[in-house]
A and B are shown apart, each in its own frame.
Chain A
Amino acid sequence: MSTTDTSAPEGKTVTQKKEITPRQALIKRALKNRNLMVSGGILLLIVLIAIFAPLLAPHDPYKQNLLARMVRPAFMGGDSKHLLGTDALGRDMLSRLLYGARVSLGVGLLATLMSGIIGTTMGLLAGYFGGRIDQVVQFLINVRLALPAILVALACVSLFGGSITVVTITLGLLLWDRFAVVIRAATMQLRNMEYVAAAEVLGARMPRILRKDILPNVTSQLVVIASLEMASAIMLEAGLSFLGLGVQPPTPSWGLMISEGKEMLLFESWLITIPGICLFVLVFAINVFGDGIRDISSPEGRN
Chain B
Amino acid sequence: MSDTQDTVLSIRNLTIDLPEGGDRPHAVENLNLDVKRNEIVCIVGESGSGKSITSFTTMGLLPRVLKPSQGEVLFEGTDVLKLSDKQHSKLRGNRMAMIFQEPMSALNPCYTVGDQIEEVFATHSSMTKSERRARTIKLLDEVHLPEPERIYHSFPHQLSGGQRQRIVIAIALAMDPALLIADEPTTALDVTTQAQILSLFKQLKETHSAGIMFVTHDFDVVAEIADRVVVMQKGLVVEQGTADEVLNRPKHPYTRQLIDAVPRRTREAPPSIEGNEVVMKVVALEKTFHTSRTLFAPARTVKAVQDVNLTIRKGETLGIVGESGSGKSTLVRCLIRLTDIDDGAVWIGGKEFSRVPRGQLHDWRKKIQIIFQDPYGSLNPRRTIGDQLVEGPVNFGVPRKVAMQKARELLRIVRMEQDALHRYPNQFSGGQRQRICIARALMVEPEILIADESVSALDVSVQKEVLNLLAEIKEEMGLTMLFITHDLRVAAQVSDNIVVMNKGQIVERGNADQVFSNPQNDYTKKLLAAMPGQGWEVPDIAALERAGA
Does A202 count as interface, using CB distance less than 8 angstroms? yes
Kindly supply a per-residue 1/0 record for chain A positions 77-103, scoring 1 wherever the CB is within 8 Å of any chain B CB and 0 otherwise.
000000000000000000000000000
Chain B residues in 8 Å Cβ range of A17? 419
Kindly supply a per-residue 1/0 record for chain A positions 210-233, scoring 1 wherever the CB is within 8 Å of any chain B CB and 0 otherwise.
001100110100000000000000
- Among B396, B399, B425, the residue within 8 A (CB) of A203 is B396
For B, the interface residue count at a CB cutoff of 8 angstroms equals: 42
Does B382 count as interface, using CB distance less than 8 angstroms? yes
Q: Is the CB of B383 within 8 A of A216?
A: yes
Q: Is the CB of A195 within 8 A of B378?
A: yes
Chain B residues in 8 Å Cβ range of A19? 419
Does B336 count as interface, using CB distance less than 8 angstroms? yes
Chain A residues in 8 Å Cβ range of B322? none
Chain A residues in 8 Å Cβ range of B362? 203, 205
Q: Is the CB of A198 within 8 A of B440?
A: yes
Specify the chain B residue showing the minimal Cβ separation from A193.
B377
Q: Is the CB of B383 within 8 A of A198?
A: no
Specify the chain B residue showing the minimal Cβ separation from A299.
B381
Chain B residues in 8 Å Cβ range of A204? 391, 395
Chain A residues in 8 Å Cβ range of B379? 195
Kindly supply a per-residue 1/0 record for chain A positions 20-42, scoring 1 wherever the CB is within 8 Å of any chain B CB and 0 otherwise.
01100000000000000000000
- Supposing A6-B386, A6-B404, A216-B383 touch, asked if A200 and B421 sit within 8 A by C-beta, the answer is no
- Among A14, A203, A208, the residue within 8 A (CB) of B422 is A14
Chain B residues in 8 Å Cβ range of A193? 377-378
Does B70 count as interface, using CB distance less than 8 angstroms? no
Q: Is the CB of A197 within 8 A of B365?
A: no
Distance in angstroms between the alpha carbons of A198 and B424 in the assembled complex: 17
- Supposing A195-B378, A217-B380, A217-B381 touch, asked if A11 and B422 sit within 8 A by C-beta, the answer is yes
Q: Is the CB of A201 within 8 A of B382?
A: no
Which one of B378, B386, B437 has the greatest number of beta carbons of chain A within 10 Å? B378
Tier of interface size on chain A: 35 or more
Q: Is the CB of A197 within 8 A of B381?
A: no
Q: Is the CB of A4 within 8 A of B378?
A: no
- Among A10, A208, A299, the residue within 8 A (CB) of B382 is A299
- Chain A nearest CB, measured from B52 CB (Å): 21
Chain B residues in 8 Å Cβ range of A63? none
- Supposing A6-B421, A19-B419, A22-B422 touch, asked if A198 and B370 sit within 8 A by C-beta, the answer is yes
Specify the chain B residue showing the minimal Cβ separation from A17.
B419
Specify the chain B residue showing the minimal Cβ separation from A192.
B377
Chain B residues in 8 Å Cβ range of A6? 384, 386-387, 400, 404, 421-422
Does B392 count as interface, using CB distance less than 8 angstroms? yes
CB contact list, B348-388 vs A, under 8 A: 362, 365-366, 368-370, 372-374, 377-384, 386-388
Chain A residues in 8 Å Cβ range of B179? none
- Chain B nearest CB, measured from A227 CB (Å): 20
- Among A4, A197, A202, A217, the residue within 8 A (CB) of B392 is A202
Distance in angstroms between the alpha carbons of A4 and B388 in the assembled complex: 15
Distance in angstroms between the alpha carbons of A13 and B408 in the assembled complex: 15
- Chain A nearest CB, measured from B448 CB (Å): 11
Does A135 count as interface, using CB distance less than 8 angstroms? no
Q: Is the CB of A195 within 8 A of B365?
A: no
Distance in angstroms between the alpha carbons of A21 and B386 in the assembled complex: 13
Q: Is the CB of A203 within 8 A of B372?
A: no
Does B426 count as interface, using CB distance less than 8 angstroms? yes
Kindly supply a per-residue 1/0 record for chain B positions 416-439, scoring 1 wherever the CB is within 8 Å of any chain A CB and 0 otherwise.
000101111111000000000100
Q: Is the CB of A203 within 8 A of B382?
A: no
Which one of A17, A194, A213 has the greatest number of beta carbons of chain B within 10 Å? A194
- Among A22, A202, A205, A208, the residue within 8 A (CB) of B384 is A22
- Chain B nearest CB, measured from A188 CB (Å): 15
Chain B residues in 8 Å Cβ range of A197? 338, 370, 372
Does A65 count as interface, using CB distance less than 8 angstroms? no
Chain B residues in 8 Å Cβ range of A202? 365, 369, 391-392, 395, 440, 443-444
Distance in angstroms between the alpha carbons of A19 and B419 in the assembled complex: 9
Chain B residues in 8 Å Cβ range of A7? 384, 422
Chain A residues in 8 Å Cβ range of B419? 13-14, 17, 19
Distance in angstroms between the alpha carbons of A94 and B86 in the assembled complex: 61
- Chain A nearest CB, measured from B59 CB (Å): 27
Does B150 count as interface, using CB distance less than 8 angstroms? no
Does B401 count as interface, using CB distance less than 8 angstroms? yes
- Among B404, B423, B426, the residue within 8 A (CB) of A1 is B404
Does A199 count as interface, using CB distance less than 8 angstroms? yes
- Chain A nearest CB, measured from B332 CB (Å): 10
Chain A residues in 8 Å Cβ range of B373? 194
- Chain B nearest CB, measured from A207 CB (Å): 12
- Chain A nearest CB, measured from B400 CB (Å): 5
Distance in angstroms between the alpha carbons of A231 and B536 in the assembled complex: 67
- Among B395, B396, B421, B426, the residue within 8 A (CB) of A10 is B421
Distance in angstroms between the alpha carbons of A197 and B379 in the assembled complex: 10
Kindly supply a per-residue 1/0 record for chain A positions 179-200, scoring 1 wherever the CB is within 8 Å of any chain B CB and 0 otherwise.
0000000000000011101111
Q: Is the CB of A201 within 8 A of B365?
A: yes
Chain A residues in 8 Å Cβ range of B338? 197, 200-201
Distance in angstroms between the alpha carbons of A197 and B369 in the assembled complex: 11
Chain A residues in 8 Å Cβ range of B425? 299
- Chain A nearest CB, measured from B140 CB (Å): 35
Distance in angstroms between the alpha carbons of A201 and B334 in the assembled complex: 12
Specify the chain A residue showing the minimal Cβ separation from B400.
A4
Specify the chain A residue showing the minimal Cβ separation from B375.
A194
Distance in angstroms between the alpha carbons of A22 and B426 in the assembled complex: 12
Q: Is the CB of B395 within 8 A of A203?
A: yes
Specify the chain B residue showing the minimal Cβ separation from A19.
B419
Chain B residues in 8 Å Cβ range of A4? 399-401
- Supposing A197-B372, A203-B392 touch, asked if A212 and B383 sit within 8 A by C-beta, the answer is yes
- Among B336, B381, B383, B396, the residue within 8 A (CB) of A201 is B336
Specify the chain B residue showing the minimal Cβ separation from A212.
B383
- Supposing A4-B400, A19-B419, A22-B424 touch, asked if A201 and B378 sit within 8 A by C-beta, the answer is no
Distance in angstroms between the alpha carbons of A208 and B392 in the assembled complex: 12
Distance in angstroms between the alpha carbons of A105 and B513 in the assembled complex: 73
Q: Is the CB of B382 within 8 A of A216?
A: yes
Distance in angstroms between the alpha carbons of A19 and B423 in the assembled complex: 10
Distance in angstroms between the alpha carbons of A216 and B251 in the assembled complex: 50
- Chain A nearest CB, measured from B358 CB (Å): 10
Chain A residues in 8 Å Cβ range of B396? 203
Q: Told that A1-B401, A198-B440 touch, could you supply 10 new A-B pairs with CB distance under 8 A?
A: A6-B384, A6-B422, A10-B421, A14-B422, A17-B419, A194-B377, A201-B338, A202-B443, A203-B366, A204-B391
In the A-B complex, the 6 residue pairs with the smallest Cβ-Cβ separation, listed nearest first, are A194-B378, A216-B382, A202-B392, A299-B381, A203-B395, A194-B372
A binding-site residues for B, Cβ under 8 Å: 1-4, 6-7, 10-11, 13-14, 17, 19, 21-22, 193-195, 197-205, 208, 212-213, 216-217, 219, 299-300, 302
- A-B pairs with beta carbons under 8 Å apart, 16 shown: A1-B404, A17-B419, A22-B423, A193-B378, A194-B373, A195-B380, A198-B440, A199-B380, A201-B369, A201-B370, A203-B362, A203-B366, A212-B380, A217-B380, A219-B382, A299-B426
B binding-site residues for A, Cβ under 8 Å: 336, 338, 362, 365-366, 368-370, 372-374, 377-384, 386-388, 391-392, 395-396, 399-401, 404, 419, 421-427, 437, 440, 443-444
